[in-house]
Amino acid sequence: MQVTLMKSKIHRASVTQADLQYDGSISVDRELMDAAGLLFNERVEIYNIETGARFATYVIDAPRASGIIALNGAAARLAMPGEKVVIVAYACFDEAETETFKPRVVLVDRDNRILRD
């Protein structure tokens, strides 16, 4: 049996851009993608903390250390610059894998910089 678990998330990211004319996706700072283990074109769920909107799209990379979180295409109607979102990727695992798997959780500040403990 396969079980779907959260693979990774970027928590409380600030939307920096919304481009209705771009052909879909969410642009994510490459540094954040790497920290969360997100892949180019990977499906993600986006949860808008401000409005409760929930939607799916795919990830494309934005320049490393740019702080960019940009909603593109139709998704640009679901979160505006300045709003906080959670970006979540899921993966399927065998039941045995679930016992040892640990998701990657990336916490960011208001400028989308990774918070370090």
**What is the tens place of the pLDDT at every residue in 33-72?**
999 999 999 999 999 999 999 999 999 999 999 999 999 9
Q: Considering only residues 22 and 30, tell me which one the structure prediction assigns the higher pLDDT.
A: 30
Residue 117 has pLDDT above 60, yes or no: no
| Structural domains of the chain sorted by starting position, each given as residue range(s) with its CATH number in brackets | 2-96 (2.40.40.20)
Catalytic sites, residue numbers: 25, 58
Q: How many CB atoms lie within 10 A of CB 15?
A: 24
pLDDT of residue 23: 83
